[in-house]
Amino acid sequence: MKVDSNDPRPPYAQIAAVMRAAIRTGELAPGERLPSGRELATQYGVALMTIQKALATLRDEGLVHSYRGRGTFVHGGKALPDSSTNLDDLKATVDELARRVKALEGKVDN
């Protein structure tokens, strides 16, 4: 994959998006070591600094971890949930907590 010069996003953002999608779909598995920065730069046809910025973006998002002298690895945690599922779970938790608060308020008033 080469970066698209017609894409309004900067090259590092395009690369981060491709790698993010590969992580979320499991194409890049948890614990998998990514190719070296130089290999990725060659693969994407960009400068090493562009790859470093893409990887920094993924690190900031918690999707990869880098270890000096060892490389960059896909985060080993559980698969990333779909954001809509995450919101549904959060809403259910909030509803349950609200129900518990109301129940406690009823006990305090009596």
> Per the confidence metrics, is the pTM higher than 0.95?
no
Residues 95, 107: one domain?
Answer: yes
Residues of the chain with pLDDT under 70: 77-86, 108-110
For the chain, the domain total comes to 2
pLDDT of residue 80: 45
Distance CA 22, CA 28 (A): 5
pLDDT of residue 13: 95
From the CA atom positions of the chain, what is the Rg in Å? 21
Query: Which residues touch 47 (CB under 8 Å, ≥6 apart)?
Result: 41
**Whether the Cβ atoms of residue 66 and residue 72 lie closer than 8 Å to each other:** yes
Residue of 76, 79, 64 whose CA lies nearest to 34 = 64
Degrees, nearest 5: CA angle 75-40-37: 70
Residues 49, 27: one domain?
Answer: yes
* CATH number of the domain enclosing 25: 1.10.10.10
